[in-house]
Amino acid sequence: MSGLRRFNELRPPERILMGPGPSNINYRVYKAMSTPILGHLDPDFMSVMDEICEMLRLVFKTRNRLTIPISGTGSSGMETAFVNLIEPEDKVIIGVNGLFGERMVDVALRCGARVFRIDEEWGKIIDPGRVVDTLVKHPDTKIFAIVHAETSTGAKQPLEEIGAFLRDKDTLFVVDAVTSLGGCELKVDEWGIDVCYSGTQKCLSVPPGLSPITLSEKALYILHSKRSRVQSWYLDLTLIERYWGEERFYHHTAPVSMLFALHEGLRIVLEEGMERRIERHQTVGDYLKTRLQELGWELFAQEGYRLPMLTSVVLPNGVDDAKLRTRLLRDYGIEIGGGLGKTKGRIWRIGLMGETCKRQNVELFLLALKELIG
Ligand code: PLP
């Protein structure tokens, strides 16, 4: 026996990705990824980089100079925000009403921050008035951070009132927009957000692997006036900004094909237009919610604050979560998400993000559901 094992060519099955991400990808994005790569310091690649930054500014609705994709998934954007701004003993307040708020707490603690939490039940929003009251009592807070679209629960956090309060304060307003960017309204400048990061695999419909981030001048001032060096070399924005800026200083080899993918993904977003795209997510998301309610399913997230691109529903008694989701995937090619953490086995999370956000996918899902549970 030669001992050599044969590895077959990849032949992944077709899927309708209606989970919490990744979403389906437009063929144009796949095509962009398969175009021949360029060197990461090639002048032609620099023009692609510049266009990506320009398009990201349009999508984030910001004029922030430092608006770039970080190499790594959405969590790399979260780490970038915290490791670049926190110094040991800094006071950081975090809104926690789901798994990703919890993750922010974990990351901030690892940076040595003194973390104070504003907790709320999963599925509910954190009352902006409560946030403002807390911030009034803690004017020495370095960062207030919150998740815009809490993917673990399906709740959409209102941000405007908090941003308006923090606008003329020293506290930085950090927002996780991993799931919201490109699928619902998000106005970084108008809402006074200082640091906002996202992920490519949700409403931008680009594979996972990059995390767009944007920093206000206030955040950049804090970054550049830090006493200590940024704790992570790889995510150090003072180095990375020199690669994305005029200097083109080598930091790490840019993931060229992923950046090609993002370039095409952003072109598609802007061709559709942000307004139309947001409206599409709202209409299709509302349709799914209405139909599920007609079938007697109870929605999990707080009424009036439900995400358009991610619908969370309570599983009716007697429905076997794992068995049903396995059958949906195996027999219908439809992926949906189960609950995370304390909602495991209790809810489903149905995503309609970017390319996946189509009425025909909702109809297919409902037909499959009918066949499976009547
Ligand atoms: N923040 C939110 C709100 C998310 O939904 C996710 C992923 O689902 C993340 C952060 C982490 O992103 P990633 O899994 O791409 O690292």
Q: Do residues 105 and 112 lie in contact, with contact meaning Cβ atoms separated by under 8 Å? A: no
pLDDT tens, position by position, 117-151: 999 999 999 999 999 999 999 999 999 999 999 99
Beta bridge partners of residue 215, listed in sequence order:
66, 195
Element containing residue 57 per DSSP (H, E): helix 43-60
Q: What token pair was written down for 112? A: 């040595």
pLDDT tens, position by position, 300-339: 999 999 999 999 999 998 889 999 999 999 999 999 999 9
Measure the CA–CA gap between 258 and 65, rounded to whole angstroms.
22
Report helix angle 74-85 to 217-224, nearest 10.
60
What is the number of other CB atoms lying within 10 angstroms of the CB of residue 304? 8
Token pair 């679209």 in the structure block, residue:
149
Task: Walk me through the domains of the chain, giving residue ranges and CATH numbers.
Answer: 16-21+273-373 (3.90.1150.10), 27-270 (3.40.640.10)
> For the chain, where are the E strands, in sequence order?
16-18, 66-71, 91-96, 114-119, 143-147, 149-150, 155-156, 172-176, 195-197, 210-215, 298-299, 310-314, 334-338, 347-351
Among 102, 104, 179, 201, which residue has the most ligand 1 atoms within 8 Å of its CB, making it the best to mutate? Answer: 179
pLDDT reported for residue 4: 81
With CA atoms as reference, report the closest residue to 299 among 154, 175, 127, 122: 154
Can you tell me which atom of ligand 1 is nearest the CA of 20? 8
Pocket of ligand 1 contains residue 284 by CB under 6 Å: no
**pLDDT at 2 exceeding the cut of 90:** no
pLDDT tens, position by position, 209-249: 999 999 999 999 999 999 999 999 999 999 999 999 999 99
Can you tell me which atom of ligand 1 is nearest the CA of 201? 15
Counted residue by residue, the chain has a size of 374
> Strand 114-119 vs strand 91-96: parallel, antiparallel, or unpaired?
parallel
pLDDT tens, position by position, 73-87: 999 999 999 999 999
Q: How many percent of the chain have pLDDT more than 70? A: 99
Q: For residue 149, how far is its CA from the centre of ligand 1 (angstroms)?
A: 10
Pocket of ligand 1 contains residue 207 by CB under 6 Å: no
Q: Do residues 38 and 45 lie in contact, with contact meaning Cβ atoms separated by under 8 Å? A: yes
pLDDT reported for residue 374: 77
Beta bridge partners of residue 17, listed in sequence order:
335
Helix (H, G, I), strand (E, B) or coil at 93: strand
Sheet with 66-71: list strands edge to edge. 66-71, 210-215, 195-197, 172-176, 143-147, 91-96, 114-119
pLDDT tens, position by position, 258-271: 999 999 999 999 99
pLDDT bracket for residue 197 (50, 70, 90): very high
With CA atoms as reference, report the closest residue to 297 among 311, 276, 315, 278: 315
Among 104, 151, 175, 349, which residue has the most ligand 1 atoms within 8 Å of its CB, making it the best to mutate? Answer: 151
Q: Do residues 91 and 117 lie in contact, with contact meaning Cβ atoms separated by under 8 Å? A: no
pLDDT tens, position by position, 148-184: 999 999 999 999 999 999 999 999 999 999 999 999 9
pLDDT bracket for residue 52 (50, 70, 90): very high
pLDDT reported for residue 3: 73
Whether the model clears a pTM of 0.85, i.e. scores above it, the answer is: yes
Can you tell me which atom of ligand 1 is nearest the CA of 199? 15
Helix (H, G, I), strand (E, B) or coil at 314: strand
Measure the CA–CA gap between 191 and 162, rounded to whole angstroms.
8
The whole-chain average pLDDT of the chain stands at 97
